[in-house]
Structure 1
Amino acid sequence: MQYAKLGSTGLDVSRICLGCMTYGEPDRGVHEWTLGAEAARPLIRQALEAGVTFFDTANVYSDGTSEEIVGKALRDFARRDEIVLATKVHGRMRPGPNGGGLSRKAIMSEIDHSLTRLGTDYVDLYQIHRYDHDTPVEETMEALHDLVKAGKVRYIGASSMYAWEFSKAQYTAERHGWTRFVSMQNHYNLIYREEEREMLPLCADQGVGVLPWSPLARGRLTRDWGAVTERSTNDAFGSRLYLESDRSIVEAVGRIAAEREVPRARIALAWLLHQATVAAPIVGAAKPHHLDDAVAAVELKLSGEELAALEQSYTPHAISGH
């Protein structure tokens, strides 16, 4: 495993982040394909043994049970000071007023609920899961700053939004002397590269580390075009993200993987790891070989010709994932 600084901070993170949306009780929340504790724990342990120190979850994943499973496993298998634990806030956790969003009330309530579920007294990276258009950005940024000063949060990060929204939040924090975001978790992979237009240059300029979600395009980059899995069959959100024109890129991944005699996932992840702003792709792992491929991708170096072949067929997409 290799490690890198998260943006311009002094925080070291493994070049692979284990995305923990995969872990949670399948009868809770909206994802029926998740793995419960018994199936998830061996994978979390495997990740730790491979040198992964960076784990990302969210309060909303499987109605909080992802945080419970991940927190318990990390307490059992790792030393708290040696891991970087990230979670998120924004999604609706209960019906009625103040059940979600980024108001001061919601943020202050949800961090305590997350800490209880995770079984820790702080999180290393607390991320806003989306932009909240119904709450003044000043209210959100001050509340997050107060969590840092209270010791409940070490760093703060953001997720998918427009570049102007991210810039506004950063400017607001700087203007008031509040804590700024150090990371951007956004939708970025070989078949969705719209972030290269504005968000990634902004992150490079501001020293913000990028943590791509869906780095394998919901698995589309790992299999033949048109092949289906249990998750893809039940993934209504993912079915809206990609286009028929993406087929040529998927085929290019397959050709290079065949020439290299490696699984396709390694090629797609290696491409992301070649991008200067990317600190760590967030990789979900439902099977042991998913982790094997992710870890191996860190060492895989693509040639200039291979990078060009992977990129040349890209076609613009409508903005998605915000």
Structure 2
Amino acid sequence: MQFVKLGSTGLDVSRICVGCMSFGLPDRGPHEWTLDEEASRPLIRQALEAGINFFDTANVYSDGTSEEIVGRALADFARREEIVLATKVNGSMHEGPNGHGLSRKAIMTEIDNSLRRLGTDYVDLYQIHRWDPTTPVEETMEALHDVVKAGKARYVGASSMYAWQFSKAQYTARLNGWTRFVSMQNHYNLLYREEEREMLPLCEDQGVGVLPWSPLARGRLTRDRDVTTARSRTDEFGKTLYRQGDDEIVDAVARIAADRGVPRARVALAWLLHQRAVTAPIVGATKPAHLDDAVAALDLELSEKEIEQLEQPYVPRAISGH
């Protein structure tokens, strides 16, 4: 396993991060394709045995059961001080007022709820799950600072938003002497490269780690176009992210993978790992092969010609994933 510093911090993270949205009770939350605890634990153990130390979940994943499953598995299989554990806050956790968002009340409530479900005293990375336009950024950033100062989180991070919003949050924190974000978890893959315009250059300039979600475009980069899965058939959010007309890119991945004699996932991930700004792609796994391919991608060196073939068909598209 390869390790790298998370942005400009001293924190060592594996170059592959396990996305834990795949782990959770199927009858809790909107994702009926998730794995229950019995099916999840072998994959978490496999990731640890491969040297991965970085795990990312969220309070909303499967109505909190992702955090519960991940927390118990890591307690059984690993030493807490060796693990980098990340979770997120913003999504709706209960009906009625104050059930979601990035208010001080929501943040202070949800960090304690997440810690209880995870079975730990702290998380290493506490991330806002996108932007909250209904709460003053000063309120959010001060609350996150207080979470860090209380010892409940070591670092704070952000996720998909516009670069001006991220800049505003960072400036607000710096102006007030509050904790700044050390990472950006954004939507970035071969089918969606709009982050290259502003967000990635901003993160590079400011020393912010980049943790792309959906690095395989919800599996579109790994299979033939006419093949569907249980997730692709039921993932309503995923259906909003991509569009018709990406065939050339998908075909280029397939062609290079065939020439190399490797699965397509390795090619798509190798391209992402090649991007200078990227710290660690967040890879979801429902089968052992998914983790095998992610780890193997670290050693796959693409040629300049192959990279050109993968990138050339891309055309600009509307912002998605915020």
So what's the TM-score if we normalise by structure 1? 1.00
Equivalent residue number for residue 175 of structure 1: 175
Query: What do residues 159-195 of structure 1 show as CA deviations (whole Å, max 9, x unaligned)?
Result: 0000000000000000000000000000000010000
How far apart are the structure 1 equivalents of 2:101 and 2:275?
32
1:293 aligns with 2:293: yes
Query: What do residues 107-133 of structure 1 show as CA deviations (whole Å, max 9, x unaligned)?
Result: 000000000000000000000001000
Amino acid at match of 1:93: M
The correspondence of residues 1-322 of structure 1 with structure 2, limited to 5 A, is 1-322=1-322
How far apart are the structure 1 equivalents of 2:131 and 2:230?
30
RMSD, matched Cα: 0.5
How many Å apart are 1:225 and its aligned residue?
1.5
Q: Residue 29 of structure 1 aligns to a residue in which SS?
A: coil
Amino acid at match of 1:12: D
Q: Residue 184 of structure 2 aligns to a residue in which SS?
A: strand
Give ranges in structure 2 of 5+ residues lacking alignment.
none
How far apart are the structure 1 equivalents of 2:139 and 2:79?
34
Q: Is the 8 A contact 1:215 1:272 kept in 2?
A: yes
Number of aligned pairs? 322
How far apart are the structure 1 equivalents of 2:77 and 2:24?
18
How far apart are the structure 1 equivalents of 2:117 and 2:243?
38
How many Å apart are 1:226 and its aligned residue?
2.5
Q: Residue 271 of structure 1 aligns to a residue in which SS?
A: helix
Amino acid at match of 1:87: T
How many Å apart are 1:14 and its aligned residue?
0.3
How far apart are the structure 2 equivalents of 1:175 and 1:227?
51
How far apart are the structure 1 equivalents of 2:99 and 2:244?
38
Amino acid at match of 1:40: S
Identity of aligned residues (%): 78
Q: Residue 222 of structure 1 aligns to a residue in which SS?
A: coil
Amino acid at match of 1:98: N
How far apart are the structure 2 equivalents of 1:23 and 1:266?
22
Give ranges in structure 1 of 5+ residues lacking alignment.
none
Amino acid at match of 1:126: Y
How many Å apart are 1:317 and its aligned residue?
1.2
Amino acid at match of 1:147: V
How many Å apart are 1:199 and its aligned residue?
0.5
Query: What do residues 80-114 of structure 1 show as CA deviations (whole Å, max 9, x unaligned)?
Result: 00010000000000000000000000000000000
How many Å apart are 1:239 and its aligned residue?
1.1
Q: Is the 8 A contact 1:245 1:315 kept in 2?
A: no
How far apart are the structure 2 equivalents of 1:139 and 1:300?
44
How many Å apart are 1:242 and its aligned residue?
1.0
Query: What do residues 61-84 of structure 1 show as CA deviations (whole Å, max 9, x unaligned)?
Result: 000000000000000000000010
Query: What do residues 21-56 of structure 1 show as CA deviations (whole Å, max 9, x unaligned)?
Result: 000000001110000000000000000000000000
Amino acid at match of 2:137: V
